[in-house]
């Protein structure tokens, strides 16, 4: 299944060697920087309506069940 997803992405990008570029020509830190910029741009393009739709339809977009004070304490300890 993963191969089909990768094939679809590469076809949509119209860049057959994209995977090679990302895995072999970029350092991991450059790849992380690139992905952060991709996510930043994507997030900047979202409207409040888009965010609400994601909340309603995406099982991965839900409020955390972790107590915020406990999370802050964990971060402080870490």
What is the residue-level pLDDT of the chain in tens, covering all 78 positions?
579 999 999 999 999 899 999 999 999 999 999 999 999 999 999 999 999 998 899 988 888 899 999 999 999 999
**pLDDT the model gives residue 1:** 58
**pLDDT the model gives residue 64:** 87
Within 10 Å of residue 27's Cβ, how many Cβ atoms?
8
How far, in Å, CA of 55 to CA of 49, rounded? Answer: 10
**pLDDT the model gives residue 59:** 87
**pLDDT the model gives residue 4:** 92
């Amino acid at each position: 299944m993963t191969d089909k997803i990768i094939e679809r992405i590469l076809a949509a990008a119209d860049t057959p060697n994209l995977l090679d570029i990302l895995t072999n020509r970029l350092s991991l830190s450059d790849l992380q920087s690139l992905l952060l910029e991709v996510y930043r741009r994507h997030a900047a393009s979202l409207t409040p309506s888009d965010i609400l739709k994601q909340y309603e339809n995406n099982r991965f977009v839900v409020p955390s069940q972790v107590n915020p004070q406990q999370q802050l304490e964990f971060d402080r300890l870490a």
